Chain A
Amino acid sequence: MRAPLSWLREYVTVDATAEEIARRLAVSSLDVERVLAAGVADVDGNLGRFLVGRVLEANTHPNADRLRVCHVDVGEGDARQIVCGAWNFEAGATVAVALPGALLPILDVPLDERALRGQDSRGMILAEDEIGLGDEHAGIMVLADGPEPGTPLADVLPIHDRVLDVTPTVNRVDLLSMVGLAREVAALLDGDFHPPTTDDPAIVDHENVDVAIEDFGGCPRYIGRVFRDVTIGPSPQWLRSRLFLAEMRSISNIVDVTNYVMHVWGSPLHVFDRSRLAGGRIVVRRALPGEELRTLDGTLRSLTTDDLMIADGERSVALAAIMGGEESEVTAETSEVLLEAANFEPLGILRSSERLALRTAGSNRWEKGVDPHLAEPAAVLASRMIVDLAGARMTGHVDVQAGLPERPVVRLRTDRASRLIGLDVAPDEQRSILEGFEFDVSSEWDVTVPTWRARDVTREVDVIEEVARAVLDRVPHTMPLRRHVRGRLSKEQRLRRLVEDVLVGAGLSEAYTWSLAGSDPDPSAIRLPDPMTSDQTILRTTLIPGLVEAVRTGLDAGAVDIALFEIARVYLPSDEQLPDEHWRVAGVVAGGYEAVKGVLEVLYATLQLELRVERGRHSLLHPGKSATTEAGWLGELHPTLLEGVWGAFEIDLATLFGRVPERIVYEDVLTFPAVLQDIAVAVDDDVEVGALVDAAREATGLVLREARVFDLYRGEQVGEGRKSVAIHLVFQSAERTLTDEEAAELRGRIVAALTDRFGAELRA
């Protein structure tokens, strides 16, 4: 919302600059996006060069058909000659004049005195857009008669202003009004709050106003007022200017009044052309099945029976609280007006406006819960303005209501407030803060909440917040006592960091990819019923497709030797309401099976685990080059997924971490020397080397400290369909030095086992 300070200061007298007001509000009340400067610059006496003038003569320019030569009294004694291109005024008009030297927002240099087509022009008669008070340029501003020539223009129009651009939180709809803001400023900056007091115009030639509320749940209050002899026309310049600064468009005097009063009091209004209401009636009800309404924006809207409507004797004429209907709109021909100052229940309005995707300045307030008591002052101010600005007579009034809600009463413990805030706020100060916000505080500290806060403040803690926000910038910075704290990472959290660090050390970079995928290899993966985009529809059961996409991004960026990993969750379907969420680590690395297995070997070794694999299958992997582990799988990425040769793995972290030993127990590998032996055996090609190593282990036990395949050879010497496997063996005992004979015997056992089980033949 835009709040021009000149307007705000009409309701609050305070000794504070725009910046001071903005800062105080920002800390204690609402978000202040910025403070804008509007109108003409207030520098170097500039404001003094804008005066009210009276046109004494307006004659056709002798040398230019489209210009006029005017003589304008600006209170200097002699009239000034000013050449003007506008024709919307005559001699006698009160106008706004800029004198030579004036700085105008539309000019880069000061206004100068010069001759136009041979006629001196010593100033400028102003249009509203020339001083930032509107966007009208078809004619100059014709002011209301009254101010004397020579009166500073700034006394009549807000030609220099500061405008607050503010956004209250949803609980503070009371601040979507100039009165609410003024109250806040007065309370926080020790100002004097004086909300508008308006004399309600007298009802003349009294007539009945027929308003029926069929749904008090949706509409607890409806004030209807009737005006006759309404003259629709443009609004006076002061009203146009205020609306412009508040970022609202001037439409006509009657419509402008509703917007203006909404801005003042925060309670939106609506006006109907009463002659278009069947029977002159108003009925507040839900829409009928199949009902439609063409709203003011020209859109034909299909309604549901949940939508609250304003109807006349026959049909709906407005979408309550959101937008009026086209048929009953006030037009230039309207002479009979029904003013609606009502109150609407927020939730239904919110639902209708969401469903219809139609948000208006009015619905934005109603959906937050407007105080029903505001309907009355809003109706009074609007009535006054309609009578004064449109020459109307008020002929009828009705106020239908279901009984308005009580003001909540809350008991406040001031010591509890101080304890929760962490600042000793004296009871007297708490009282004065609350009273500043117009809460009533009894001597027993029963706090009665004002009507415009009744939805938001219902408990002691809510009242404490009122105190807290007023003293927020005085609250000290302390630390909690933390008497019983134990700050450390869990085993899983430590290991996760270790996994990240090992993989980074192994040259993999960490990627972050979306949890929602466009497709997933698991056909039972959970689908969103209403996804945002087609590539984010499924809760993934594997991280690999996201990483493949990330690799593609890298390739497109020209990277080579890409290696990526990610630690994230997968979401596995379950029988419960919520899926099983599992943390996984996955990677995609340039190079084939060997490359990815090397990475996993480093990872496992760091975790003090042995990587044991079995041949396996996975739909994302090359069928001949894939393996499973007890915690996941690895292999060469299926060539259809990504061009080139890539290794991939995905490991479940909980399974992996569950196997990591709590601590490492020392093994004596220092006291007695190890015996190193290499053997080479020929076996059939389809024998897996892992099986040979396992057999060697089984044959010898713990004394075989290490058995590592270090060479593989195929060729004539071993024969067709056979391969030679070279294994490095390390024998070591923790109790004694092994003799040559013992080592030879161990070696013999291994050879025998390999021969026996795999038809191995010893080659060396």
Chain B
Amino acid sequence: MDAQALENDALAAVANASSTDDIERVRVEYLGRKSELKLALREVRDRETGMALNALRERLEAAIDGRDAELARAELDRRLTEERVDVTMPGAPVRRGHLHLITQIRREVEDIFLGLGYTVVDGREVETTRYNFDALNFPDGHPSRSPLQTLFLDDDTVLRTETSPSQIRTMEAQEPPVYIVSLGRVYRRDTPDATHTPTFHQVEGLVVDEGITLADLMGTLDYLLKALFGEARRTEFRTHHFPFTEPSIEAHVSCHMCDGSGCPVCRHSGWIEIGGAGMVDPKLFEFVGYDPERYTGFAFGWGLERIAVLRHGIPDLRELWRNDPRLLEQF
């Protein structure tokens, strides 16, 4: 056997191989069991020839392996280049649910106040008139006490008209300091229209501690409104009147749609009314047995639906209760 000729032939064959199939054939031809080299190796009797032939075998193996890897890589590259997908095709469907917008806002408000150190308490929806009106200092003849405005179960039992009874229940259950929010459904005999539904949600806030001021209330509401409507908003507080707070105020935020220049959302005033608030009336403290000389506090109660429709530009608040998937799935 002419080892040199064999090596030259083999290396030429390796160089000529153009596919991994080719290279396999070369491997069989030159290194297979019946190849000239393998047969020769079997015949070897002297150490010198053996070493030379083994060296040759190793060289051929290396050349074949190297070429094989090269070709395999080229073939893979070619195949991957051909394996194109239309990357703009949609993915395999995964069903996704949606949290209702009111829940999202509820959580947002809860988180804002959790961050401030408040706790979240739950109230009741069916309430006694004692908690819903008397304890909250509603005078006789207040319109809310009328069955024209409130849903009564009997003379002494109502569907709560605001989340404020939870103030009383909280204060009865614990001593100051109190830092709570309470969120939930409230009920009024309102004819449904674009801005009213007979059931809606409120967030109630209550703070009672030593040295609580109207400035603290305004600072807290300013923080809340900016968190909900954007840091660029301005807030304004105007005097108001509620049975359970004194002094009472109403919070307004500069319109997030027009930034105060006037648009339909703010009815061209530049300001959006958000809801009522005030310093807890001493009558409430007397009712629950807190010392009104020692403690002061503030409270507020706002509608979540109102925040939702204003912030997201929903023209009709009733839509939040219709559960049309086309609306639910936007949020």
User: Which residues in A have some Cβ–Cβ distance to B below 8 Å?
Assistant: 26-31, 34, 169-172, 346-347, 350-351, 354, 367, 419-423, 459, 461-462, 464-465, 468-469, 472-473, 475-490, 493, 497, 500-501, 503-516, 526, 528-532, 536, 539, 550, 553-554, 557, 559, 561-565, 568-569, 571, 577-579, 581
Contacts and interface: CB of A to CB of B under 8 A. Distances in A.
A577 B128 contact: yes
Contacts of B126: 539, 571, 578-579, 581
Contacts of B157: 577-578
Contacts of B323: 511-513, 550, 553-554, 564
Contacts of A462: 246
A459 B286 CA distance: 14
B241 A169 contact: yes
A561 B321 contact: no
A512 B124 contact: no
B189 interface: yes
Contacts of B328: 509-511
Contact of A526 (B140, B153, B191, B216): B153
Contact of B222 (A477, A512, A532, A577): A477
Closest 7 pairs between A and B when the two form their complex, measured CB to CB: A422-B215, A422-B213, A485-B117, A507-B95, A169-B241, A477-B219, A465-B247
A311 B222 CA distance: 56
Given A422-B216, A530-B147, A571-B125, A557 B325 contact: yes
A485 B212 CA distance: 14
Contacts of B213: 419-422, 478
18 contacts: A27-B237, A169-B240, A169-B241, A350-B141, A468-B239, A480-B179, A480-B207, A480-B220, A482-B179, A483-B177, A485-B116, A485-B177, A487-B114, A489-B110, A504-B99, A509-B100, A512-B323, A514-B199
A516 B188 CA distance: 12
Interface string B154-171: 101101000000000000
Contact of A420 (B124, B214, B321): B214
Given A30-B239, A347-B140, 10 more contacts: A354-B148, A422-B214, A422-B216, A473-B237, A479-B220, A480-B216, A510-B99, A565-B97, A571-B125, A571-B126
A468 B97 contact: no
B103 interface: yes
B272 interface: no
B238 interface: yes
Contacts of A480: 179, 207, 209, 212, 216, 220
Interface string B117-153: 1111000111110000000000011000011100111
A484 B213 CA distance: 17
Nearest to A552: B323
A559 B322 CA distance: 14
A488 B114 contact: yes
A481 B213 CA distance: 10
B118 A487 contact: yes
Interface in B8-64: none
B277 to A, nearest CB: 12
B100 A512 contact: yes
With a 10 A CB-CB cut-off, give which of A346, A483, A485, A515 has the most chain B CB atoms: A485
Nearest to B189: A532
A229 B46 CA distance: 158
Nearest to A346: B141
A479 B126 CA distance: 33
Contacts of A563: 95, 97
A47 B223 CA distance: 48
A276 B138 CA distance: 43
Interface string B215-231: 11011101100000000
Contacts of B153: 526, 528-529
A420 B102 CA distance: 34
Nearest to A26: B238
A30 B329 CA distance: 41
Contacts of B95: 506-507, 561, 563
Contact of B103 (A468, A473, A500): A500
A578 B128 contact: yes
A461 B281 contact: yes
A480 B153 CA distance: 39
Contact of B239 (A472, A516, A557): A472
